[in-house]
Amino acid sequence: MENYKDGIAQFQKVQRELSNLRDAQGVLYWDMSTIMPPKGVERRSEVISYLSAQVFKIETDPKYGALVDELYTHLDDMDDREKAMIKDAKKSLDFMRKIPESEYLEYSKLVASAETYWADARAKNDYAAFRPILEKIVGFNKKIAEYIGYEDTPYDALLDLYEPGATVKSLDKVFQELRDGLVELIQKINQSPVTIDASILQGNYAVEPQKEYNRALAQRLGYDFDRGAIAESAHPFSTNFGNSDVRITTAYSKEDPVTAMYSTIHETGHAIYEQNIPDDLTYTNIGRGVSMGIHESQSRFYENILGRSREFLEAEFPNMAEAFAGLKAYSVDDVYRAINKVEPSLIRIDADELTYSLHIIIRYELEKMLINGEVNFDELPQLWADKYTEYLGVTPDTYANGVLQDVHWAGGMIGYFPSYALGNLNGAQLLYKGILRDLPDYQELIRTGQLDKITAWLAENVHQYGATYEPQVLIEKITGEKLNAQYFLQYLKEKYSKIYEF
């Protein structure tokens, strides 16, 4: 190759074609999770499987493979973006060359339909109906780990799919530090004489006013509805088709409007990240968030660090009280304390931000056991329940409140859960070592509703790079140091010592 730039142009042309196919798949997944009729699942799975086959053909085309292999020899000549694109493509290509096409297509079809079966099993509280599907998904992921390869444990290979560079060895260390710090804080809260009445958030709230409120809330946060949409699904999620069509969903509760409020804020954080990916990256293989841990740093920053702050609620409370009349009887301080009450719970997405990471550590430990073949699938619900009893002091009373509560395993996303806890850690480090450094009036910006300045900081320092830099390279580039759990623990201590007076 005389001029590698010609090769880059060819490579980007292929990436555009792959992007078109994946976006088509994404629209079909979105439809499946929101408005598709139940009997459409089999035909929809067939269509998605067909599109997956087209992706597979392109990625395993010898000409494309030869192009990537050749470009890989020119890494030293490339800028950071080009280098990231080719390294990512080579990593994906090496994997695709190893997995048999028949297995790839069978797995694609399995996970395309599994989410619908999961939703039905969850609604009926029927673990037995979903257990065979889960066992197949885990079995496939064991094979995937072997195809990818690993040094210490097969789970490392799956972690790397969502958080490049992460290993069981590194996560065990940081999660131990996190767990110890959380246990200490929970003990202090348990010893506090302060009591908080969170029941003030409960009431009888129709869904339609909630939908109107959440749409306006997302817009206030900076979500661009000319390039976005909100729908309803059993499990809130965000998805995107480039940076000009970025969609979110939420789930509503007639008894508690705050649940949907914070689901919306969380997913809006994801969506703003994707909407801020530069146009010249959006159709490439690095036109996305670099890892789920960095993605979660954005969603959980908006949801918790910003959204559950005293300053945010001061600004937002008039809107909340107008939408939810039952809150008018209470003060901002009452609502702030209720929203930030620390109380062990069964449902991950409803957990307070202090105990939330323990939900993740439970799933992390179970996933390691699943991939290591240490779990009998008939006993998995009880193992889940036992860990909840041990870690959080609460025991699931149904499968829907236990092992069936999350969609991730149905979607084949084994190795994803640690990203949520890493998101907490990354978000706090970005706050202390980036945002507060560059925006000393950060709290006043929130109090006065000038969230656009905070979003602009995130766009400049995080979003604009897409997946150009690996997660820990990006964190170190922004904050000047590697990931450090102490910033998140510092944030929690500063916040909750005031709420619980310890």
Q: Are 390 and 113 in contact (CB under 8 A)?
A: no
Which tokens sit at 218?
């997302």
Hey, is 228 helix, strand or coil? strand
The structure tokens listed for 428 are 């706090």
How many helices (H) and strands (E) are present in the chain, helices listed first?
21, 3
Choose, from 267, 274, 296, 367, the residue flagged as catalytic.
267
The closest of 19, 90, 5 to 55, measured between CA atoms, is 19
Tell me the C-alpha distance between 458 and 306, whole Å: 13
CA 315 from centre of chain: 27
Buried b (16+ CB within 10 A) or exposed e, 310-340: bbbbbbbbeebbebbeebeebebebbbbbbb
Two structure tokens written together for 14: 């292929």
**Could you tell me which residues come within 8 angstroms of residue 187 by beta carbon, excluding any fewer than 6 positions away?**
none
- Establish whether 267 is a catalytic residue: yes
Q: How far apart are CA 130 and CA 410, in angstroms?
A: 9
CA distance 283 to 18: 9
CB-based contact 302:458 (threshold 8 Å):
no
**The tokens of 221 are what?**
């946060």
252: left (phi over 0), alpha (psi -120 to 50) or beta: beta
Nearest to 41 by CA among 107, 101, 134, 118: 118
Contact 200, 243 (CB under 8 A): no
What's the alpha-carbon Rg for the chain, to the nearest Å? 23
Mark out the alpha helices in 348-500 (DSSP H runs).
Answer: 356-371, 380-392, 418-430, 436-438, 442-447, 451-461, 471-479, 486-499
Using the 8-state DSSP alphabet, how is residue 480 labeled?
A: S
| Residue among 208, 190, 212, 160 nearest 416 (CA) | 160
Looking at residue 462, the DSSP 8-state letter turns out to be T
DSSP for residue 330: S
Q: Which residues are catalytic?
A: 267
